[in-house]
């Protein structure tokens, strides 16, 4: 049976941003609910190891995720496993968050930290061989490629980092990139070039995932964009890391966004809808790191506390304020 429950703040998504926001709103004694469709952790669960989480020279993604969750729970945040389908602002200015089983949660403020979904290549065979060679998550599927030759597609941080990680299982990793240089950060690129199991194929695009009658992937057809030459890499895995799309489809109201669909916020993480805050990977910004996600989330959570106080006291709330809630 579906239910309706009320909270001070509902947080959609339990990645680093969601869990950090929950920690701060919980710590501010706000009744806090975190809704997450999977295991709490978000992109941390797609990251083998972090060496840029300040204070830890090296920490496993899942380990940091677990610490974040425990810490947020410590301050009273409630976690519910649920697939959110809609976040809507009602006439009285409160929000209604609805799940796919019809449960409803109302709150005067909502923080969306729903992250993004991997972009697909959109080539023949990609869908057919998904889970049978084609994957979007190295840490989830890496071990399936033990002693196999695989291809990674992409040239950003994710592709370059995960190609390096995948060499602990695969016998060889091709990195297929559509241009002649990586956009990934220097330290990751240097690590990749130092790895003898990796061969970079520049200026090439994936055209088709090939497979056998038994339904398993046997190769990746690629085309050199300079010469138009086509060849098939004898790869039994294709790991695609060509970016993310922000998960903003759950927002029922129009919320201002940039040309890529990332939500625009002001300096206190409030979106164009008063009381609706955004933090982490779905927010329009220069970079998407764990450190920036938790930074956004801290600001959003503290802004929510001020927003709720002003609202409760009947003060004017400055929707695009730079932190100033007028008394
Ligand atoms: P990204 O930085 O947007 O890189 C996407 C890559 O895929 C680019 O190299 C792009 O090529 C390529 N690409 C895009 N569409 C393509 C297509 N249709 N076919 C072939 N190639 C295509 O995405 P990301 O690597 O997923 O990273 C997302 C964010 O997370 C970034 O801000 C990144 O810094 C962060 N991140 C950080 C770490 C870390 O610091 N350890 C790890 C993972 C992710 P072009 O270069 O030609 O555009």
Domain ranges of the chain: 4-117+244-326, 134-240
DSSP 305: H
- For CA atoms 247, 251, 257, 263, the dihedral sign is negative
Give catalytic residue positions.
137, 140-141
What does the pLDDT read at residue 159? Answer: 97
Instruction: Give per-residue pLDDT as tens, 177-215.
Output: 999 999 999 999 999 999 999 999 999 999 999 999 999
Q: How far is 224 from 239, CA to CA, in rounded Å?
A: 19
Determine if residue 31 is left, alpha or beta; phi over 0 gives left, psi from -120 to 50 gives alpha, anything else beta: beta
**CATH class assigned to 4-117+244-326:** alpha beta
CA of 242 to the centre of ligand 1 (A): 5
Q: Is the CB of 155 under 6 A from ligand 1?
A: yes
Which pLDDT belongs to residue 317? Answer: 62
User: Which pairs count as long-range contacts for 210-215, CB under 8 Å and 24+ apart, including other chains?
Assistant: 210/125, 211/125, 211/128, 211/129, 211/132, 211/133, 215/128, 215/129, 215/132
In DSSP terms, 271 is beta-bridged to: none
| pLDDT at residue 319 in the model | 47
pLDDT of residue 43: 85
Query: CATH topology of 4-117+244-326 equal to that of 134-240?
Result: yes
- Which of 58, 118, 156, when mutated, tests ligand 1's pocket best, judged by the most ligand atoms within 8 Å of its CB? 156
- Is pTM beyond 0.85? Reply is no
Question: Alpha carbon 55 to chain centroid distance?
Answer: 23
Task: Enumerate residue ranges in the chain where pLDDT < 70.
Answer: 316-327
Residue 145 tokens read as 């490629």
- Other beta carbons less than 10 A from residue 231's beta carbon: 13
Is 287 buried (19+), middle (13-18) or exposed (0-12) by CB count in 10 A?
Answer: exposed
CA 30/CA 268 separation, integer angstroms: 18
Helices and strands counted in the chain (H then E): 6, 21
* In this structure, CATH architecture of domain 134-240: 3-Layer(bba) Sandwich (3.50)
| Ligand 1 contacts CB of residue 189 (under 6 A) | no
Q: What integer pLDDT is reported at residue 257 of this predicted model? A: 97
pLDDT at 45: 84
The reply to whether ligand 1 has any atom less than 6 angstroms from the CB of 262 is no
Which one-letter DSSP state was computed for residue 119?
A: P
Query: In this structure, which residue's CA is closest to atom 13 in ligand 1?
Result: 242
């Amino acid at each position: 049976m579906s239910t309706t429950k009320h909270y001070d703040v509902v947080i959609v998504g339990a990645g680093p941003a969601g869990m950090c926001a929950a920690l701060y709103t919980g710590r501010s004694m706000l009744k806090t609910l975190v809704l997450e469709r999977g295991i709490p952790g978000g992109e941390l669960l797609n990251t083998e190891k972090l060496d840029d989480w300040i204070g830890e020279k090296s920490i496993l993604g899942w380990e940091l995720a677990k610490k974040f969750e425990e810490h947020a729970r410590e301050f009273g945040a409630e976690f519910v496993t649920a697939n959110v389908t809609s976040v809507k602002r009602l006439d009285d200015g409160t929000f209604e968050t609805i799940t796919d089983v019809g449960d409803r949660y109302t709150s005067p403020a909502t923080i969306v930290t729903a992250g993004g979904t991997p972009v697909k290549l959109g080539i023949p065979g990609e869908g057919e061989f998904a889970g049978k060679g084609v994957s979007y998550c190295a840490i989830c599927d890496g071990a399936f490629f033990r002693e196999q030759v695989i291809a990674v597609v992409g040239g950003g941080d994710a592709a370059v980092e995960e190609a390096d990680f995948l060499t602990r299982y695969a016998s060889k990793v091709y990195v297929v990139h559509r241009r002649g240089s990586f956009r990934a950060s220097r330290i990751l690129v240097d690590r990749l070039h130092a790895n003898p199991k990796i061969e970079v194929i520049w200026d090439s695009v994936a055209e088709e995932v090939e497979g056998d009658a038994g339904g398993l992937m046997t190769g990746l057809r690629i085309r050199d964009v300079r010469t138009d030459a086509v060849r098939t890499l004898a790869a039994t895995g294709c790991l695609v890391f060509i970016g993310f799309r922000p998960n903003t489809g759950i927002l029922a109201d129009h919320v201002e966004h940039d040309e890529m669909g990332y939500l625009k916020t002001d300096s206190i993480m409030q979106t164009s809808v008063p009381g609706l805050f955004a933090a982490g990977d779905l927010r329009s910004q220069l970079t998407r790191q764990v450190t920036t996600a938790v930074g956004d989330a801290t600001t959003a959570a503290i802004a929510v506390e001020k927003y709720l106080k002003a609202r409760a006291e009947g003060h004017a709330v400055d929707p695009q304020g730079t932190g100033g809630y007028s008394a």
